[in-house]
């Protein structure tokens, strides 16, 4: 279709219709850009209970770490090597508890980062029988914890282990639903 044909079709519509067309095109462009940057996801488990509840809808920033580093305390969505009911790689929501180069240790259920006990949501309720000798996180690897440590699938479990930047699908940044819990998802330092 040549430009002249398009121009003739546009000139044949009223000013009100042109404005509506411009608004609709702008909305469509905004939707496409939004879907390239963010995704909406539903929480399907209770691994982060207390912070994220089963059924919560989350806005995930897909490219949050393209220009910045993964931060301690960030809540991330990542793939694991565990399979879901359909045989696909299972996606997990966890909190970043260790960064590359950190010395991590699990002793009597408590998690230590560089010799200091981790406090906060991801430290509560750990199983006393979980032990992990001190080990330094390799470059590009992260130690993650579930806030619900009793049911958690996280780096303490050998089936999950350390995760890499390639496994991270994005950072949880906002909870639009349910309305009673609407708000930003802040990291805990």
Contact 79, 60 (CB under 8 A): no
- Per residue in 94-129, pLDDT (tens digit) is 999 999 999 999 888 888 999 999 886 655 555 556
Question: Edge to edge, what strands does the sheet with 103-107 contain?
Answer: 116-117, 110-113, 103-107, 132-136
Residue 82's nearest CA partner among 40, 47, 123, 41 is 47
Give residue-wise pLDDT tens across range 45-92: 888 888 899 999 999 999 888 877 899 999 999 988 887 788 888 889
Answer whether 115's CB lies under 8 Å from 102's CB: no
Distance, CA of 154 to CA of 145 (rounded, Å): 5
């Amino acid at each position: 279709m040549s430009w002249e044909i398009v121009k003739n079709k546009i000139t044949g519509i009223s000013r009100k219709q042109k404005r509506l067309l411009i608004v609709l095109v702008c909305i469509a462009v905004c939707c496409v850009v939004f879907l390239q940057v963010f995704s909406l996801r539903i929480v399907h488990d209770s691994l982060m209970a207390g912070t994220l509840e089963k059924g919560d809808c989350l806005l995930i920033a897909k490219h949050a770490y393209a220009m910045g580093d993964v931060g301690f305390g960030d809540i991330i969505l990542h793939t694991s090597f565990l399979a879901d009911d359909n045989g696909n790689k299972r996606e997990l929501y966890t909190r970043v508890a260790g960064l590359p180069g950190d010395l991590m240790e699990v002793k009597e259920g408590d998690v230590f980062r560089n010799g200091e006990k981790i406090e906060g949501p991801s430290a509560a309720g750990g199983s006393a029988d979980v032990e992990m000798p001190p080990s330094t996180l390799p470059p590009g690897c992260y130690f993650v914890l579930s806030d619900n440590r009793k049911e958690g699938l996280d780096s303490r479990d050998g089936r999950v282990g350390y995760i890499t930047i390639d496994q991270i699908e994005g950072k949880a940044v906002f909870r639009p639903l349910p309305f009673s819990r609407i708000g930003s998802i802040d990291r805990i330092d």
